[in-house]
Structure 1
Amino acid sequence: MADEFIKGFTLFALGALAWFTFGGWYRTPSYYEIVQLVNPAEGVNTAYGQVALLAGDVAFWLMIVGPVVFWVLIPVSRELRKSLNDDGDAEAAN
């Protein structure tokens, strides 16, 4: 169980770090603005800028989906598989 936690936490941390980095570079017009990291990107005219915006969006979703997979979906699927196997073993014993 600890390995799932650290895998999810690693994906969360790496996704957050990348999202903060790309958001700070491309989505923060001024340090003194109240809304940062979620502003629409302005002045991105190059292919590298478009790739960076895509990387920032991918990092955001990695930050959200990665922990959900490792902290919720994998443990739930293991418990479901275990309960289904236990039911099958109980029926075979009867």
Structure 2
Amino acid sequence: MADEFIKGLGIFTGGGLAWLTLASWYRTPGFESTQQLVAPITVSGDNLFNALGIVLMDVFFWFTLIGALTFWVLIPGTRELRKAIENRRTE
């Protein structure tokens, strides 16, 4: 169980840091703004690097959420379900 927790934590911190960096570049209109990191994208994807950054921002967001939930909820839940099914068969 500790193995799954540390994998989920690594995905959560790494992906979250990457999303936070990209969101601060593309979704912060100014430091005086109250909508930092959640404002609409302020830069158009007119060149390759901006388009890649905007796409990677969404990729890292979903990777962080799905990856952490997979290692923290789905894998342990599946193992517990298998154990319950095996115990039910042996009774």
TM-score normalised according to structure 1 size: 0.88
SS in 1 for 2:29: coil
Read off the aligned partner of 1:8 and give its amino acid letter: G
Question: 1:64-83 counterparts in 2 under 5 A?
Answer: 64-83=65-84
Matched residues in 2 for 1:50 and 1:37: separation? 17
| Consecutive aligned runs of 4 or more in structure 1 exceeding 2 Å deviation | none
Structure 1 unaligned runs (5+)? none
Larger radius of gyration: 1
1:35 aligns with 2:35: yes
Matched residues in 2 for 1:54 and 1:80: separation? 36
Q: CA RMSD in A?
A: 1.1
Deviation per CA, 1:59-89, whole angstroms, max 9, x where unpaired?
A: 1112211211111111110000111111122
Size of the aligned set, in residue pairs, is 90
SS in 1 for 2:24: helix
Structure 2 unaligned runs (5+)? none
Deviation at 1:19, TM superposition (A): 0.7
Partner of 1:4: 4
Matched residues in 2 for 1:46 and 1:40: separation? 18
Deviation at 1:43, TM superposition (A): 2.6
